[in-house]
């Protein structure tokens, strides 16, 4: 639990503020004066000191000054509670390393915001100050070095190098410099990869409206006119940096969510693939004579799709559709499917129904509506004499035309219970004979090329081997 020491001489303020902080889950100790505060701090460790500026026994600023002289307390995070807004006080507080101010009477939401921000452990932010006048650079370093790590560059070129090498959190840029001026530096920063979100605040003595408009038009984050009041400039820089942190964490959050979504999509894709393969296995198991047929047809279809210039995604889709092209056989009597001899007219009519049955089964999968296409139309013929709908030519979905060629190639090139695989030359002749009548000529040509490239007639044996082992 983080520990806070709260110092205020007003009893009511002390009570209210302590209550809010305790509600937030912090351990809170209290002191009502400066001397008591220093005494407690010497004995106990705290993560944050909330210190009233006006205490009865000594001023809060004096208390902080004394605390900073104690080596162990030099870095203690301090936030001031103040009813006034004297510039001198605020400047002095910043010089002593105060992180922030909370105006009294304390508003709970403001207190919560400031305390939470103060307790966030983050490394000191790095500011790159760019100015070609050494005196200005030194002043900037002195002012802002109280709270930030300030690095410097005395020219645009040097600034760009330091931005690349040291990756500052913010750039304080002088407008008028010899050589590359501020606007050009800004343009070059925007052109640098990974620097689109780097805040650039201009510091310039030109405070006229035109200059201001020009600077913002060029994409600057903010503009501080010289001479400036340190605490005001400091507050503006703090706000710019807070905004940057918010943007960065939002960006990180979006990245994380996108990655989680990507993983979830991949898991869904894997699951769909597994379900499709399991279903294809169930179809093939029903007809042991053609075991592995679905997987081989899917492989040939994918190869044909590749030859036809389809993308990887399309090839994957065609593979899945082809895997399930005969799913309707689940609804056909097993003795008809397993009958080795010639089928009767009625049996043939029954087996033809596997196209429509398959279509009906797969149509229920609304998330992958294309799955049903292969099942219904893979027995259509290019000349319109196929079944179940007698579609012709380009009316037959291309996926079904591809599966049709792959299906016939596998039927001829695989061993059956009643015959060996047909010879490659015979298979080639049949594909050629069916070109333009049974098959889409383009797809038949693609298959002929695949056959011609397969000089040892090994293609038929390889496809689906992996799945045939089971
Ligand atoms: Fe079929």
400 CA → ligand 1 middle, Å: 11
Stated as kind and residue range, the H or E segment containing 288 is none
In the sheet that holds 27-31, the strands lie side by side as 27-31, 3-7, 48-52, 78-82, 100-103
Position 464 scores a pLDDT of 43
At residue 459, the 3 state secondary structure works out as: helix
- From the CA of 428, how far away is ligand 1's center (Å)? 20
Is the preceding peptide bond at 105 cis, omega within 30 degrees of 0? Answer: yes
Angle between helices 156-166 and 182-191 (to 10 degrees): 30
Q: Model pTM?
A: 0.55
State CA 85 to chain mean position distance: 44
Taking the C-alpha atoms of residue 155 and residue 124, their distance in angstroms, rounded to an integer, is 24
For residue 462 the two structure tokens come to: 């390889």
Ligand 1 midpoint to CA 454 (Å): 25
Using the mean position of ligand 1's atoms as its centre, give its distance from the Cα of residue 364 in Å: 19
Q: 461 falls in which pLDDT band (50, 70, 90)?
A: low
If you measure from the C-alpha of residue 355 to the centroid of ligand 1, how many angstroms do you get, rounded to a whole number?
A: 7
DSSP H helical ranges for 223-382 = 230-286, 293-307, 312-323, 334-337, 345-352, 354-363, 371-377
**If you measure from the C-alpha of residue 366 to the centroid of ligand 1, how many angstroms do you get, rounded to a whole number?**
22
- pLDDT tens for each residue of 440-454: 999 999 999 999 999
The CATH code for residues 126-244 is: 3.40.50.2300
The CATH number given to 287-468 is 1.10.3210.10
Q: In the predicted model, what is the mean pLDDT of the chain?
A: 88
- Distance, CA 275 to ligand 1 centroid (Å)? 20
Closest CA to 326 of 282, 365, 289, 288: 282
Cα(325) to centroid of ligand 1, in Å?
Answer: 6
Q: Where are the domains of the chain?
A: 3-119, 126-244, 287-468
Residue 447's pLDDT is 97
Q: Is 351 left (phi over 0), alpha (psi -120 to 50) or beta?
A: alpha
Residue 443 pLDDT: 98
The CATH number corresponding to 3-119 among 3.30.70.20, 3.90.1260.10, 3.30.70.260, 3.40.50.2300 equals: 3.40.50.2300
Query: CA 139 to CA 418: how far, in whole Å?
Result: 97
Mean pLDDT of 392-401: 97
383 Cβ contact list (under 8 Å, min separation 6): 392, 436, 437, 438
Predicted pLDDT of residue 463: 47
For 194, the token pair is: 């990974």
Do the first three CATH levels of 126-244 and 287-468 match, i.e. the same topology? no
Q: What is the pLDDT of residues 317-362, one digit of tens each?
A: 999 999 999 999 988 998 888 887 788 999 999 999 999 999 999 9
Structure confidence at residue 352 (pLDDT): 95
DSSP 106: P
Q: How far is the CA of 271 from the centre of ligand 1 (A)?
A: 25
**Distance, CA 306 to ligand 1 centroid (Å)?**
22
Distance 308 CA to ligand 1 centre (A): 22
356 CA from centroid of ligand 1 (Å) = 10
Q: How far is the CA of 362 from the centre of ligand 1 (A)?
A: 14
Q: For position 439, what pLDDT does the model report?
A: 97
How many angstroms separate the alpha carbon of residue 432 from the centre of ligand 1? 20
Q: Cα torsion for 262, 266, 268, 271, to the nearest 10°?
A: -170
Interval 407-422 mean pLDDT: 86
pLDDT above 50 for 22: yes
């Amino acid at each position: 639990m983080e520990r806070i020491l709260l110092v205020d001489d007003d009893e009511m303020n002390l009570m209210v503020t302590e209550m809010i902080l305790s509600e937030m889950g912090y351990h809170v100790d209290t002191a009502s004066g400066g001397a008591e505060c220093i005494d407690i701090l010497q004995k106990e460790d705290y993560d944050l000191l909330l210190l009233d500026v006006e205490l009865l026994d000594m001023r809060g600023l004096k208390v902080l000054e004394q605390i900073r002289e104690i080596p162990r307390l030099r870095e203690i995070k301090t936030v001031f509670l103040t009813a006034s807004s004297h510039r001198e006080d605020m400047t002095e507080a910043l010089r002593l390393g105060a992180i922030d101010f909370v105006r009294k009477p304390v508003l709970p939401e403001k207190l919560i915001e400031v305390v939470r921000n103060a307790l966030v452990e983050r490394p000191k932010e790095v500011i790159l100050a760019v100015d070609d006048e050494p005196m200005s650079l030194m002043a900037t370093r002195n002012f802002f070095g109280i709270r930030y790590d300030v690095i410097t560059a005395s020219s645009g070129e040097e600034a760009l190098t330091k931005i690349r090498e040291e990756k500052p959190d913010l750039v304080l840029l002088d407008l008028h410099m010899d050589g590359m001026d501020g606007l050009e530096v800004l343009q070059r920063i925007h052109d640098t990869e990974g620097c689109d979100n780097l805040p650039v605040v201009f510091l310039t003595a030109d405070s006229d409206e035109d200059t201001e408009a020009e600077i913002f038009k060029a994409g600057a984050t903010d503009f501080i006119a010289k001479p400036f009041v340190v605490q005001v400039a400091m507050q503006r820089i703090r706000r710019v940096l807070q905004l940057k942190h918010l943007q960065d964490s939002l960006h990180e959050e979006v990245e994380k969510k996108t990655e989680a979504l990507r993983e979830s999509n991949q898991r869904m894709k894997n699951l769909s693939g597994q379900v499709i393969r399991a279903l294809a296995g169930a179809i093939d198991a029903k007809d042991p004579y053609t075991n592995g047929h679905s997987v081989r047809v899917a492989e040939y279809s994918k190869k044909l799709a590749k030859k036809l210039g389809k993308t990887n995604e399309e090839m994957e889709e065609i593979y899945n559709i082809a895997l399930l092209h005969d799913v309707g056989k689940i609804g056909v009597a097993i003795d008809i499917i397993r009958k080795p001899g010639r089928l009767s007219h009625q049996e043939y009519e029954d087996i033809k129904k596997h196209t429509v049955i398959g279509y009906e089964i797969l149509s229920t999968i609304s998330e992958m509506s294309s799955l049903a296409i292969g099942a219904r139309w893979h027995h259509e013929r290019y000349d319109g004499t196929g079944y179940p709908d007698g579609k012709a030519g380009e009316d037959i979905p291309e996926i079904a035309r591809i599966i049709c060629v792959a299906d016939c190639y596998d039927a001829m090139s695989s061993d059956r219970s009643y015959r060996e695989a047909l010879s490659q030359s015979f298979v080639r002749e049949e594909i050629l004979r069916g070109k333009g009548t049974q098959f889409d000529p383009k797809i038949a040509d693609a298959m002929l090329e695949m056959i011609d490239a397969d000089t040892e007639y090994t293609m038929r044996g390889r496809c689906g081997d992996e799945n045939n082992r089971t």
